[in-house]
A = this chain, B = another copy of it.
Amino acid sequence: MKEKLFRDPVHHQVVVDHPVIYDLINTPEFQRLRRIKQLGTTSFTFHGGEHSRFSHSLGVYELSRRIVERFSKAFSDIWDEGENLLTMTAALLHDIGHGAYSHTFEHLFDTDHEAITRQIILDDSTQIHAILSRVAPDFPEKVASVINHTYPNKQVVQLISSQIDCDRMDYLLRDSYFTGVEYGQFDLTRILSSIRPVKDGIAFTYGGYHAVEDYLLSRYQMYMQVYFHPASRSMEVLLTQLLKRAKVLFQRNPAYFERTSPRLLPFFQKNYQLKDYLKLDDSVMTAYFEDWMEAFDPILSDLSSRFINRHVFKSVVLLKEDPELLKKLQDLVLEVGYDPTYYTALNQSFDLPYDIYRPTANNPKTQIEILLADGRLQELSQTSPIVHSLLGTLQGDLRFYFPKDMLQLDDLFTEEKEAFIQLCQNSNQG
């Protein structure tokens, strides 16, 4: 096919030269990703970060394309060129099952974007499936197994999913570019020129290890500063509370939701199908929340309005989960007149910047290997003292969220608020 170029601010251009990739991009299931923000609620804190999962998915594809092109050219002894299309397809589709505000939504409605991803690929109702099946009858299954980590060729799997994969490389660069938080930048060219297929996966040449080190430090910085930003998490808290409230109200007054928010019904009723899921996106959710600002219920109406107009909760860092302290804080919030079920929340955000493979862990990591001049592999933290110091450490915090006016002393509840502020200060306000 004639090469198609998509202008991309992160990778300059995304090159599509395989008709399967082009056709996949043009399916409704993939175009739908234009309507889902990559960063969810984070764009309320970093106003530049309004890019979509569509843009990210093209980026992941482009990285995979560059890598397999180079592997095929320079390392054809160890890389099987026959895996190129599979790798690029898995890269393009790895997030196809994401929905609006996925993480929050999943938690409340028991959906699972990874399961949906597999379903979109395997279910013969989708255009994605039809296109994949044209390649070979078992191709959809192969694509799903790569995303699922069960595909036997670990080179392919690790390019799509490991501690340094096309997905992470793209989202760090992309989120950094769009938010304007420069810490997320790292030396992609260097990483791409030092990545190597090895017997059981991928590795990085010794000469490129500083670039890998820098990638991990950039990742750490993006987590600390962007993904775990207290204000973004506050928007997540608001979203959770307003959906929680809607679920409760649905039991009492389903007619209201049938009228204002029909596409949510299958989820309220815990009885949804793939086609229902594909009809949800940020636009629809936002349109519903805007309607709910005029809802019959003052809590739903207020929380929707806070979310739409970005009136965030404030927060304090809790050094540990202390049920007694929590109870006191909630009681004080209640005394001032807010229902703590909806107007307070605990939110913990922790990340493991890097870890070695630990077979007994819940979710064992694929460790990063450095390819030495003599052909041996060395796990990254053996090469890099700074990575060694990050190894296995959890970074993040636990926060208690509450309405901002709990910190203002200009009204009726002064005494309660003073008590609240006192307790907060003891807990290390951020």
Contacts and interface: CB of A to CB of B under 8 A. Distances in A.
A9 B177 contact: yes
Contact of A9 (B52, B58, B179, B186): B179
A126 B11 CA distance: 43
20 contacts: A5-B193, A7-B46, A34-B50, A47-B55, A50-B50, A178-B178, A182-B185, A183-B210, A185-B185, A210-B224, A217-B217, A279-B290, A281-B286, A283-B283, A283-B286, A283-B287, A284-B287, A373-B429, A385-B393, A386-B389
A207 B231 CA distance: 13
Contacts of A311: 26
Max chain B CB contacts within 10 Å: which of A5, A55, A183, A214? A183
A5 B194 CA distance: 11
Contacts of A193: 5, 13
Given A47-B8, A55-B48, A189-B13, A220 B386 contact: yes
Nearest to A33: B47
A179 B51 CA distance: 11
A292 interface: no
Contacts of A46: 7
B290 A284 contact: yes
A54 B187 CA distance: 24
Contacts of A221: 210, 213-214
Contacts of A31: 308-310
Contacts of A44: 34
A282 interface: yes
Contact of A7 (B48, B186, B310): B48
A202 to B, nearest CB: 18
Contacts of A393: 385
Nearest to A208: B5
A103 interface: no
Interface in A208-256: 210, 213-214, 217, 220-221, 224-225
Interface string A293-311: 0000000000000001111
Max chain B CB contacts within 10 Å: which of A28, A31, A189, A290? A290
Given A51-B50, A283-B290, A9 B183 contact: no
Max chain B CB contacts within 10 Å: which of A46, A47, A189, A207? A47
Interface string A21-52: 00000111001001100000001101110111
A376 interface: no
A7 B179 contact: yes
Given A8-B47, A26-B310, 15 more contacts: A7-B180, A7-B181, A8-B48, A9-B179, A10-B180, A12-B189, A13-B189, A26-B311, A28-B308, A34-B43, A47-B55, A48-B51, A217-B217, A220-B386, A283-B290
